[in-house]
């Protein structure tokens, strides 16, 4: 009888230890969209794509490509999940990489270091909108301060859609 009681306790602990895993955040997220750069002549002529992989706990590895007219940048960095509640997620992020194109005085073609940091807000449409039910599709809004070496920093506003798995 003592053996059965011990087995029941072990089984209950196993079930309780699995519950947090079942409620975990997605481990992968792929998103793409358009960006608004208030300092460019054609303010919506840019696009972006970002791929995020959960590394541990609330930490994510982030890789982003921005295409803006004659310029493009490839950056990698990390994000931290600050809030996750009822289909809404708030992340803070920073990344670094390279930007190539016509940047800086004289619009010469060059490659420079690019750095950014900001926040992203995602809204899980798959959880909250009937049409997307069960599809893990999210709307994404991000604000980043993008800095290019020797050129300066500027805010960029991004909107798009993503898929989690």
Residue located via tokens 């073609």: 109
Taking the C-alpha atoms of residue 25 and residue 89, their distance in angstroms, rounded to an integer, is 10
Taking the C-alpha atoms of residue 75 and residue 63, their distance in angstroms, rounded to an integer, is 6
> Helical H runs in 88-160?
125-128
DSSP state of 150: T
- pLDDT tens per residue, range 132-156: 888 889 999 999 998 888 778 889 9
Opening angle at CA 163, ends 148 and 134, nearest 5 = 160
- pLDDT tens per residue, range 54-104: 999 999 999 999 988 778 899 999 999 999 998 999 999 999 999 998 766
Name every residue whose Cβ is closer than 8 Å to that of residue 108 and which is 6 or more positions away in sequence.
102
Determine the CATH number of domain 26-164. Answer: 2.40.160.20
**What are 143's strand-pairing partners?**
119, 157
pTM: 0.79
Phi, psi of 69, rounded to the nearest 5 degrees: 55, -125
């Amino acid at each position: 009888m003592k053996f059965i009681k011990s087995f029941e306790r072990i089984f209950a602990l196993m079930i309780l230890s699995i519950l947090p895993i079942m409620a975990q955040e997605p481990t992968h997220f792929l998103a793409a969209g358009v960006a608004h750069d208030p300092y460019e002549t054609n303010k919506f002529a840019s696009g972006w794509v970002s791929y995020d992989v959960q590394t541990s706990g609330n930490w994510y590895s982030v890789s982003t490509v921005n295409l803006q007219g004659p310029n493009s940048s490839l950056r990698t960095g990390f994000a931290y999940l600050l809030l996750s509640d009822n289909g809404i997620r708030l992340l803070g992020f920073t990344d670094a990489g390279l930007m190539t194109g016509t940047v800086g005085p004289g619009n010469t073609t060059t490659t420079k270091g690019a750095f950014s940091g900001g926040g992203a807000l995602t809204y899980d449409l798959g959880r909250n909108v009937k049409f997307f039910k069960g599809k893990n599709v999210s709307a994404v809004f991000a604000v980043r301060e993008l800095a290019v070496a020797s050129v300066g920093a500027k805010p960029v506003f991004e909107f798009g859609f993503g898929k989690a798995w």
